[in-house]
Amino acid sequence: AMLGPAESTRRGPTPVHNPAVPATAYTPERIAAGIAAGEFVNVYQPKVRLADGEVTGVETLVRWQHPTDGLVMPSQFIELAEEHGLIDPLTRTILVNALEQGKRWRLEGRELHVAVNISMESLSTLEFPDFVAAMVRAAGIPPHLLVLEVTESRLMKNPLAVLDVLTRMRLKHVGLSIDDFGTGHSSLAQLRDIPFDELKVDRRFVHQAHADSATRTILEASLGIARQLGMRSVAEGVELQSDWDLLRELGCDVAQGYFVARPMPAAAFTKWFGEWETRRQALRPSVA
């Protein structure tokens, strides 16, 4: 039988942020010390093809494994890190870990895309493409297996530098994904100017789209733009069977969300791959 959303959200470790800790408790100094102490870790969330349930890749998401506060979520520290020049060292850590993990999966015979979130801050640094290319080479994986997920930010100071950096990443065959599409931070102008491979529809246009016609219209329009521009479409925030069913009906390429799996440590994937194989049969009985 198909597993409902409640069951699917219960699988795997469910890291919970300690809400007793106020956001103001985190300072640039504490973040810098945490980076130096290796307290920032990667979790991974699968991206699966809607047509047949094949796992095509993962997105890595940062967590702060704080010695006393527990697992701290990105909303508590990413903006601070961006504003205080700490995002580059943080990105370096997350990228190195993700590439190493991608290499491990590849050695196990799983050719997965590994997507890393990159702040626009980092993309105005002209050294960025060579830095990424060097790390990809060091990891020994083909560059197209790395995907950079970018969201436009209010902090974007130098759009021309960003365009230059992204174009050079593209020339190095690194995949480019426009994240949170439709939110106003990821705009149509970006789509026209930057050669993205993948469009990620923001979760506010995905979850419950079947129940709200305006939401559904925006979802369909976004998928149409991706298709006509020759980009892979990804829906984030797929929480329900009904979200999944609608996306498949609309011809969306890839789904990501709690319906498939919560973000989890790499070590949890070995078990999850097996569980998903079983669930996948139930989702699409015609696929062996």
- Note the residues at the interface with ligand C2E (CB under 6 A): 45, 61-62, 73-75, 78, 94, 117-119, 149, 151, 179-180, 203, 236-239, 257-258, 263
Q: Which does 141 bind (CB under 5 to 8 A by kind): Mg ion, ligand C2E, none?
A: none
Encoded tokens for 73: 């979520």
* 103 closest CA partner among 52, 62, 143, 47: 143
Q: Decide if residue 239 touches Mg ion (CB under 5 A).
A: no
Q: Decide if residue 117 touches Mg ion (CB under 5 A).
A: yes
Distance CA 193, CA 160 (A): 10
Site string for Mg ion, 131-150 (x = CB under 5 A): ------------------x-
Kind plus residue range of the DSSP H or E element containing 224: helix 213-228
Backbone φ and ψ for 115, nearest 5 degrees, come out as -100, 135
Q: Which does 152 bind (CB under 5 to 8 A by kind): Mg ion, ligand C2E, none?
A: none
How far apart are CB 119 and ligand C2E at their closest, in Å? 4
Per the DSSP assignment, residues forming a β-bridge with 47 are 57
Q: Decide if residue 198 touches Mg ion (CB under 5 A).
A: no
Distance CA 58, CA 55 (A): 8
Complete DSSP assignment for 72-92: EPGGGTHHHHHHTT-HHHHHH
Q: Which residue is nearest to ligand C2E (CB)?
A: 257
Q: Which is nearer to ligand C2E, 8 or 105 (CB)?
A: 8
Q: List Cβ neighbours of 251 (8 Å cut-off, separation of 6 or more).
A: 223, 227
Q: Which does 148 bind (CB under 5 to 8 A by kind): Mg ion, ligand C2E, none?
A: none
Q: Which is nearer to Mg ion, 233 or 279 (CB)?
A: 233
Q: Which does 78 bind (CB under 5 to 8 A by kind): Mg ion, ligand C2E, none?
A: ligand C2E
How far apart are CB 62 and ligand C2E at their closest, in Å? 4
DSSP-derived letter for residue 185 is S
- Residue 70 zone, left/alpha/beta (φ > 0; ψ -120 to 50; rest): left
Q: Which is nearer to ligand C2E, 252 or 286 (CB)?
A: 252
Encoded tokens for 124: 């105005």
Q: List Cβ neighbours of 23 (8 Å cut-off, separation of 6 or more).
A: 76
Q: Which does 246 bind (CB under 5 to 8 A by kind): Mg ion, ligand C2E, none?
A: none
Secondary structure class of 180 (helix, strand, coil): strand
Q: Which is nearer to ligand C2E, 78 or 225 (CB)?
A: 78
Q: Which long-range contacts (C-beta less than 8 Å, at least 24 apart) are formed by 244-247? A: 244/50, 244/283, 245/210, 246/209, 246/210, 246/216, 247/50, 247/206
Secondary structure class of 94 (helix, strand, coil): helix
Q: Which is nearer to ligand C2E, 62 or 139 (CB)?
A: 62
Q: Which is nearer to ligand C2E, 53 or 108 (CB)?
A: 53
Q: Which does 119 bind (CB under 5 to 8 A by kind): Mg ion, ligand C2E, none?
A: ligand C2E
Q: Which is nearer to ligand C2E, 86 or 145 (CB)?
A: 86
Q: Which residues bind Mg ion (CB under 5 A)?
A: 117, 149, 179-180, 202, 236
